[in-house]
């Protein structure tokens, strides 16, 4: 497995087996075309975004919170997959996982992530619709728990 440092930025890293076991610095998104490698990010209110291109088999995983969304981490990841693997957004499946949403947070970055994906021409977008702050028995929420919380791990692997 390989994980991202997660600095709430716009860094996207192409990774492979040579990076296994590492935390990639200055990144919030990982992409790969290699089998048997698991990409991992941690979240507690930020949105995990899984990407898969049916044509190439390339995968991506993004940690996208308010700041990263504003900076365009999700479109940067789609564009990196296009550049590095020849991925076609129209043939991509992208899933937005649980994240904080209004009325529990004043900024609807989940809606912005979805808008950005449509603007990139992503073919299939699935929004979990789940809010981390709405269900504290099920999810961790950094805001709701005032910073004293755990983290969820999101993972994806090409098999």
Maximum CA pair distance of the chain?
43
143 pLDDT higher than 70: no
Query: What is the residue extent of each domain of the chain?
Result: 2-157
Provide the 3-class DSSP secondary structure of residue 99.
strand
Residues whose CB falls within 8 Å of the CB of residue 44, separated by 6 or more in sequence, listed in order: 132, 140, 141, 142, 149, 150, 151, 152
The pLDDT tens digits for 67-99 are: 999 999 999 999 999 999 999 999 999 999 999
CA 64, 11, 21, 86 dihedral sign is positive
Assigned CATH topology for domain 2-157: 3.60.140
- Tokens 């994240």 sit at which residue? 99
The pLDDT tens digits for 23-58 are: 999 999 999 999 999 999 998 899 999 999 999 999
The pLDDT tens digits for 91-118 are: 999 999 999 999 998 899 999 999 999 9
Helices (H), the chain: 66-71, 73-85, 109-119
CA proximity to 13, closest of 84, 94, 72: 84
């Amino acid at each position: 497995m390989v994980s991202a440092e997660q600095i709430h930025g716009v860094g996207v890293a192409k990774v492979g087996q040579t990076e296994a076991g590492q935390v990639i610095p200055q990144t919030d998104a990982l992409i790969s075309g290699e089998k048997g490698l698991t990409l991992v990010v941690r979240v507690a209110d930020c949105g995990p975004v899984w990407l898969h291109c049916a044509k190439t088999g390339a995968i991506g995983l993004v940690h996208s919170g308010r700041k990263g969304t504003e900076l365009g981490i999700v479109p940067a990841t789609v564009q990196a997959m296009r550049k590095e693997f020849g991925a076609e957004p129209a043939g991509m499946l992208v899933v937005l996982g649980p994240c904080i949403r209004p009325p529990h947070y004043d900024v609807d970055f989940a809606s912005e992530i979805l808008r950005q994906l449509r603007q990139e021409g992503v073919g299939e977008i699935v929004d979990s619709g789940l809010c981390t702050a709405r269900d504290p028995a099920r999810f961790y929420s950094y805001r709701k728990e005032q910073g004293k919380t755990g983290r969820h791990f999101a993972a994806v692997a090409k098999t």
